[in-house]
Amino acid sequence: MSRWADGRPRDWAKIAFLAASTDVARACRDNLIRHYGNVPLHEAHVAVCLGGDGFLLESMHRVLDLDIPAYGLNCGSVGFLMNPVSEMDLPERLSRAQETQLHPLRMVAHDHAGGVHEALAFNDVFLFRQTRQAAKIRIEVDGRVRLQELICDGVIVATPAGSTAYNLSAHGPIVPLTANILPLTPISAFRPRRWRGALLPSNAAVHFTLLESEKRPAAAVADFTEVRHVTSVSVKEDKSLRTTLLFDPDHGLSERIIAEQFSG
């Protein structure tokens, strides 16, 4: 039986079903509610999320302060973070599910108007140019300048869970969940042309300074929060926060991250 962190057994009778805005997800939610009922999210012991990876990420932010786990059922396309859809034996699947705890990245972005914006990201934080001109970015790690000037379309700091998303598309490395490593990956680097990024310890503090930021404007994105015309961006993992994801025993996230590295 799955248990809370303090040792109490979890009660899977109180389920909040959350669905993406697609017909498939909504139909699946309606069928599950007929079988198992539904409670408001603030009363639930687990959130069952119906949709794709993007919807699950959004749901993870919603449950962050509620101390309840999220269990994704794939009603989307890729569904890397999701479990296979089945309307049978859901409480039993939940009781056998494996837990994976994820810590978010905290982004602090400053913009041209003097505004300060904070946001959390379970996937990644990335900077990206807003116009036809490449961005120029200085990169500091733990207060030390590591790259004086990166000319690029952008740059990504990913979590291990997010290393298979945008980071992988930008040819960044896949990182196992237990590695305590954050990939730092350039997006279409022009200079230095051969720089392929870095692997940073999970407690590293990364600071980006936008050079020539008025001439070469860039936006910063933390999951689904976007800040435009940034002048500087700081990124650090927030160990004080966590969300728990549930995976079927034969469908664990660590195994999928390893398997992804051997796929074509």
Residues forming the active site: 53
Rounded to whole angstroms, the Cα distance separating 164 from 259 reads 11
CA dihedral 22, 25, 30, 36 (to 10 degrees): -160
Cα dist from 11 to 67, 71, 94, 138, 173, whole Å: 13, 14, 10, 49, 38
* Residues 54/1, Cβ–Cβ less than 8 Å: no
Cβ neighbours of residue 139 closer than 8 Å, sequence gap 6 or more: 145, 146, 147, 150, 155, 184, 206, 207, 208
For residue 108, list its beta bridge partners. Answer: 118, 234
Query: Token pair for residue 199?
Result: 């692997």
Backbone angles phi, psi at 59, to 5 degrees: -65, -35
Three-state secondary structure call for residue 136: strand
CA dihedral 17, 104, 126, 82 (to 10 degrees): -40
The string of DSSP codes covering 114-183 is S-EEEEEESSEEEEEESSSSPEEEEEEETTEEEEEEEEESEEEEE-TGGGGTHHHHTTPPP--GGG-EEE
User: What size, in residues, is the chain?
Assistant: 264
- Tell me, rounded to whole angstroms, the distance of Cα 242 from its chain centroid: 12
